[in-house]
Amino acid sequence: MKTVLVIHVNEVDTDSVVTFLDQKVEIFYRGCGGDLERAAALIAEYDGRVDAIGLESMPAELHLGPAQVEHDGGSRLQQIVRQTPVVDGSGIRAGLERWGVILADRAQPGIFAQKRVLMCPGVNHQGLAEALGRRGSAIRFADPVVYFALPDFPGLGGKTTLDQAAPLTLEQLQDAPFRRIFPQPGQAGHARSAEPFGWADVIAGDIGAIRRYAPAELKRKTIVVERASAEDLEDLRARGAGIVVTVMPSLDDDDLGRWSAAAIEALLVALRPDPAAPLTEDTYLDLMADIQWSPAVRYLQPEQQGINRFAFVIHPLDVRFIHKHKWFGWTKYMPDSLVERVAAYFPPLYLSRITGGQSPTTGQKIEGYLVSLGATPRQMMQHSEQFTYVRLNKSARMAERWGARIMGLGAFTSVVGDAGITVAHESDIAITSGNSLTVAATLEAAKQAVIKMGATDLTKGKVMIIGATGSIGSVCSRLLAQAIHDVVLVSIEPEKLIELKRTIQAETPGAQVAIATKAGDLVADCDLIVTATSAFGQRIVDITRCKPGAVICDVARPPDINPAEAALRPDVLVIESGEVLIPGDIDFGYDIGLPPKTAYACLAETALLAMEGRFEDYTVGRNISMERVKEIYKLFLKHQFQLAGLRSFGEYITDDVLVEKRALAEQLREDEALLAQVKREAGAEIKRIPVMAKGVSASNGRSKQALAAGAITAGVVAAALLLRRKV
C-alpha cells in the first residue's frame, strides 16, 4: 500500500487510509504549527519512508496576477529531501480549480454566471480566478484588505490595481510566515473592511482567510474553496452563506471535499504508474484525466435548496406608471413628455423578488425577479430596435447574476424587433415571450366569456381576430378556426393575410375564412372579437357596430379598447386576456396592476417553465407553434395553474354584471328598431371621443385621463338611455 505524508500549518496529527484512483493509500497527516524547523524535521524523518510528501499551505512560490516570487521558507523545505518527491499543490491546483468550476457549473447551471466574484485571497489561486472571471461580470481581489488591512475604496482590488500592486504585495509576502499568507480560522487581530465582502456574490479562495476576515453576515453568498470541513460548513451556515463549493476531488465516499491540493498532488505522485515519470504538467494531466469526480456543492440553508429561478421584464405602460413608483413620485411635477423621454434611457431597474410559487404536483419551488425598463411602448416604437435590445441584454445579465435561468419578456418587450430572437441569441439564459400561454389563456378566457354571455354552441358562431398576422393573432386565428369554423382575419398586412388564410384552409378544410384590412362593419356579425395589435393612435374596432351580446377579448398590452368606448355599448362584454393564478403562496413583492396572486399569462408562462425545469428558448419570434401552445396548456394543467376570474378594465366581472349585459343583449336582439337607435346614438357619441389606442390619441395631446373622463360621461348617458327603454 502506498503511503503519503501531508504536513500542514496547524497542530493536528491524524492517520487515514483512503481510496483514490481505485487504490488504497495511507496518509500521515502531521502538523507543524507553522514552524519551519518542525516542518523540516518531519520531512527529514519521513524522507525515503513514504512515496510522496505534500506541503499544505507552505508553497515554494507565490503567484498573484502577473507576478510571482519564490518564498524563502517554502523553497528551502523542498531542498531538504534526498529521496521522496515533495510537492505543494502548485502542480495541479490551477488545473483542478479550472476543471472544478466547469464541473460545478455543469452540475448547477448558472451558479457562477454574471456573479460579482471576490478572491479572498488571490495568492496562488490563479486558476480559480481565471475560471470564475470568465463567468463573472466583475472580479476583485481582497488581498490588499486581507494582508494589509487597507480600507476599501473604489478601484481597490480591481484588475488594473492588481496588475500594479501584485509585485509589491508578493515582495512583502516572500519571507512572511505561512500563517500570515494563508490565515487560519479565528478572530482577526484587526477587523477588515466588510465592503468588498458585501459587494460580492461569490467569495473564493482559502477557507481559513474567509472565516477569519469575512464579516459575520454572508447572507445568500456562494463560497468557493479548495476544501472545507464540517466545522467550516457550520461556521458559514451560521453566517447565512447559501452555497459552499469545494473544487478538489473527494476521497473514499466522502463527498465533502476536505483534502487540499497539496494532498491530492501528493497522492497523484505516489500513484504514478511509472515512479520515474517526471512531475510535469503532462504527467499530471494523464493522472487527472482518470479521476472520476464532481465538486461538492452544498446548500447550507434548506429553504434555498432546490429552487428554480426565473426573471421577468416589464415596463411602464404609460407615464402614470412612472409617477406611481416610489422612487419617481416627484416626476409628476414635471412635464409628462419630458419624463417619458428621459425615462426611456434608464438602465434596467430591479423591482422585486417573487416568492412562494410551488407546484402541488411535483413540489418544485420557484422564485422570480421582476425587472423594469424605463421606456413606455411609445418610446420603444420611437427608438431603434437595438435601443431596446441593449437594455434587454443587460436585464438578462442581471437575471443571471441573481440565479435565474430563464427570462420572460413582458408587454411591448416581446413585440419589439424580432420578438425575442435576437435577445435569445445574445443571452446566456433562456428567453421566452410568454405568448404561448398568452394564447392558451386568451382562448380559454374567451370561451368562458362567450358561454357566460349565453352561447350554447360555439361551433355555430363567428369570430374576428384583429391583428391576425401578428405573433399572437396568427396562432389564435389558426386555433379558433379549428373550433369556430367561421373566421374573419383583420390586419394591415394584406400579403400576410393571404398567406394566413391559405394556411388555415389547408389545416382546417371547410373553414370559412374572410380577410380584410379594417374591421369596419364586419364586426356586426361576430360573436367574438379578439384584438392583438401593437397599433397606436387608432380606433382598432368601432364597438358601436358590434352585435348585441358580443364579446371582445383585448389581448394587447396596453389595451386596444378604452373604457370610454366600452361604456357606449353596455350590452357588449369587453374582457382582458386570460390572467393566471400561479400555485403556491405567491407574492410578487410589487404591484403589477393585477389582484394579489394574479399574473399576466406571459409572466405565468415563464414561471411555469421554471417550475417544469424547461430552461430553453421557448416562445420566441413571431411564428408561435400550435404544438407549443398545446404543450404549455398541458403543463398548465399538470402543475395546477388556474385561470383567474374574468376582468374588464381592471375589475372582476360579477354575475350581476353578466345578467344585466345578457338582458340588454336579448332586448336588442328582439327589437331591431331599438338596436338601430342604440347604434346610431352610440355612433354619434363615439365620434366625440378622440381616436386612440394604447392610451395614445391620434388627434391631439390631451391626457388619457381627461379623454377617458369625458368619454365615460358620454358612455354613461348612452347606457342610461338604453336602460330607460327597458322599463
Q: Give me the domains of the chain, ranges plus CATH numbers.
A: 2-87 (no CATH), 93-259+280-303 (3.40.50), 307-433+597-616+630-642 (3.40.50), 437-579+648-726 (3.40.50.720)
pLDDT of residue 694 exceeding 80: no
One-letter amino acid identity for 339? V
CA–CA distance, 236 with 687 (Å, rounded to integer): 69
**Range from 150-159, 399-408, 462-471 carrying the lowest mean pLDDT:** 150-159
Q: Are 412 and 534 in contact (CB under 8 A)?
A: yes
User: What are 314-369's pLDDT values in tens digits?
Assistant: 998 888 888 888 888 888 889 989 999 999 999 999 999 999 999 999 999 999 99
**Average model confidence (pLDDT) for the chain?**
89
CA distance 104 to 204: 14
What grid cell was written down for 224?
A: 468557493
8 A C-beta contact, residue 24 and residue 72: no
pLDDT in tens, 664-675: 999 999 999 999
Contact present, 170 and 151 (Cβ < 8 Å): no
Inter-CA distances, 181 with 64, 75, 221, 454, 702, Å: 12, 15, 24, 80, 69
Judged by average pLDDT, the poorest of 186-190, 196-200, 411-415 is 411-415
- Confidence band for 700, pLDDT divided at 50, 70 and 90: very low
Q: Is the pLDDT of residue 259 over 80?
A: yes
Residue 307 has pLDDT above 90, yes or no: yes
Q: What type of residue is 109?
A: P
Rounded Cα distance between 297 and 244, Å, is 6
Separation CA 179–CA 182 (nearest Å): 5
Strands 406-409 and 349-358: unpaired
Model confidence at 636: pLDDT above 50: yes
Higher pLDDT, residue 611 or 306: 611
Distances 517 to 271, 513, 658, 691, 698 between C-alpha atoms, Å: 78, 14, 32, 18, 19
Confidence band (pLDDT; 50, 70, 90) for 258? confident
Q: What's the CA gap between 37 and 625, in Å, rounded?
A: 73
Taking residues 671-692, report their average pLDDT.
89
- Confidence class for position 279, pLDDT limits 50, 70, 90: confident
Cell readout for 518 is: 379594417
Q: Residue 720's CB: how many other CB atoms inside 10 A?
A: 11
Of the candidates 436, 511, 431, the residue with the CA atom closest to the CA atom of residue 472: 436
Distance between CA atoms of residues 400 and 615, nearest Å: 12
Residue 180 pLDDT class (50, 70, 90 cuts): very high
pLDDT of residue 253: 64
pLDDT at residue 705 is higher than 60: no
Q: Which pLDDT score is estimated for 458?
A: 78
Query: CA-based diameter of the chain, in Å?
Result: 114
Q: Could you report the per-residue pLDDT of 46-71, keeping only the tens digit for each?
A: 999 999 999 999 999 999 988 999 99
Neighbours of 716 (CB within 10 A): 14
Q: Is 660 left (phi over 0), alpha (psi -120 to 50) or beta?
A: alpha
Per-residue HEC secondary structure of 447-476 comes to HHHHHHCCCCCHHHCCEEEECCCCHHHHHH
pLDDT on residue 726: 41
- Which three cell numbers, joined as nine digits, stand for 121? 485571497
pLDDT in tens, 528-539: 999 988 766 678
- The cell numbers describing 235, all together, are 461556521
Say which residue, 652 or 136, is predicted with more confidence.
652
Q: How confident is the model at residue 717 (pLDDT cuts 50, 70, 90)?
A: very low
Q: Do you find a cis peptide bond into 167, omega within 30 degrees of 0?
A: no
pLDDT, residue 444, reads 92
Is residue 468 predicted with pLDDT exceeding 50? yes
**Tens digit of pLDDT for each residue in 78-121?**
899 899 999 999 999 999 999 999 999 988 888 998 999 999 99
Return the pLDDT at 536: 67
Question: Is the model more confident about 286 or about 331?
Answer: 331
Q: Between residues 693 and 196, which one has the greater pLDDT?
A: 196
Residue 149: pLDDT above 50? yes
Report residue 712's pLDDT band, with 50, 70 and 90 as the boundaries: very low
Residue 697 pLDDT: 56
Query: Residues, the chain, total?
Result: 727
Residue keyed to cell 346614438: 681
Segment 131-137 shows an average pLDDT of 83
User: Alpha helix (H) ranges present in 244-335?
Assistant: 261-270, 281-289, 319-324
What percentage of the chain reaches a pLDDT higher than 70?
A: 94
Give the pLDDT mean for 590-596. 87
CB-based contacts of 519, cutoff 8 Å, min separation 6? 464, 466, 490, 529, 540, 541, 542
Whether the predicted pLDDT of 398 surpasses 80 = yes
Task: Give residue 542's pLDDT.
Answer: 93
Nearest to 511 by CA among 463, 569, 552, 549: 463
Q: Cβ distance 59 to 65 under 8 Å?
A: no
- Strand boundaries in 300-363, DSSP class E: 307-314, 349-358
Q: Copy the grid coordinates of residue 529.
A: 372579437
Give, for 93, the enclosing helix (H) or strand (E): helix 93-107
Angle subtended at Cα 165 by Cα 162 and Cα 171, rounded to the nearest 5 degrees: 130
Confidence band for 40, pLDDT divided at 50, 70 and 90: very high
